[in-house]
Amino acid sequence: MTASAETSTQPAADSGPRQMDTARVAELYRQLLTELGEDPGRDGLLGTPARVAAWWSEFLDYDPGATAAVFEYEPSGGSHLVVVGGITVWSLCEHHLLPMRLTVTIGYCPRDQVLGLSKFARIAHAHAHRLQLQERFTDGVAEDVITAAGSGDVGVVAEGEHLCMSMRGVREQQARTTSTSLAGRLHDEPGLASQLLTLARSPR
Ligand code: ZN
């Protein structure tokens, strides 16, 4: 695996499901409002379908920028864990189409290069701007960090707050869902994994 490998941000060319007809989506929202017993012609709702359609377009077409800039790293011996925490992204739960806020902590053991720190956030954003499941988000971020950093020793911890849990269903205001994706030494060495989890849970 080389550091120059492309990460999995969506290429513009073959973005089939990503191509959105904004006018059509606005029309569907107009119909939905009617079905919900509203009058889409009243003042407060007049611009709503177009506004919501524009929001969907912005959400799905979000461009997180390049994710694979790599810096050289000179190992000084011993195990070395680089942790980037406090990355907050918003995504949409694919089961309920309601927002989830994910706080992400990423750790990895650099081999011969170090990934630029801002790139971690970009990888997280790239996976957040689509309909998601928290577990798939966590695994996807881990896979991209493995590719971009050229190291198989990667751990990702995501703490999620799901509106589908806090405003419907169990209405559990404080519910937090933690998901982890551990690979290589982060998977095999409990010491490294617990170091990552401790850092992920420490207050910032
Ligand atoms: Zn949900």
CATH of the domain at 86: 3.30.1130.10
Q: Is residue 156 part of a domain?
A: yes
- Under the banding of pLDDT at 50, 70 and 90, the label for residue 76 is low
Distance 88 CA to ligand 1 centre (A): 18
| Same domain flag for 92 and 53 | no
H helices of the chain, where?
22-35, 48-60, 117-128, 134-149, 163-166, 185-188, 190-201
| Same domain flag for 123 and 177 | yes
Checking if the pLDDT of 3 tops 60, the result is no
Distance 71 CA to ligand 1 centre (A): 38
Question: In the prediction, which pLDDT does 11 show?
Answer: 43
CA quadruple 188, 195, 114, 123: dihedral sign: positive
From 13-17, 59-63, 86-90, 94-98, the region with the lowest mean pLDDT: 13-17
Question: In the prediction, which pLDDT does 164 show?
Answer: 87
| Same domain flag for 86 and 30 | no
Distance 155 CA to ligand 1 centre (A): 24
Q: What is the dihedral of CA 17, 19, 24, 25, to 10 degrees?
A: 60
Q: Is residue 2 part of a domain?
A: no
Question: Rounded to two decimals, what is the model's pTM?
Answer: 0.83
**Which of the two residues, 165 and 90, has the higher pLDDT score?**
90
User: Can you give the residue range of the structural domain that contains 29?
Assistant: 22-60
For residue 133, count CB atoms less than 10 angstroms from its CB and return exposed for 0-12, middle for 13-18, buried for 19 or more.
middle
| Same domain flag for 103 and 75 | yes
| Same domain flag for 56 and 134 | no
> What is the average pLDDT across 177-184?
96
**Which of the two residues, 20 and 113, has the higher pLDDT score?**
20
Question: In the prediction, which pLDDT does 6 show?
Answer: 40
pLDDT in tens, 129-178: 999 999 999 999 999 999 999 999 999 999 999 998 887 666 666 678 99
| Same domain flag for 81 and 137 | yes
What is the count of structural domains for the chain?
2
Checking if the pLDDT of 15 tops 50, the result is no
Question: In the prediction, which pLDDT does 35 show?
Answer: 98
| Same domain flag for 158 and 77 | yes
Distance 133 CA to ligand 1 centre (A): 8
| Same domain flag for 93 and 173 | yes
- Under the banding of pLDDT at 50, 70 and 90, the label for residue 29 is very high
Q: How many residues does the chain have?
A: 204
Question: In the prediction, which pLDDT does 173 show?
Answer: 61
Mean pLDDT, the chain, whole residue set: 86
| Same domain flag for 48 and 130 | no
Distance 173 CA to ligand 1 centre (A): 14
> What is the average pLDDT across 184-200?
93
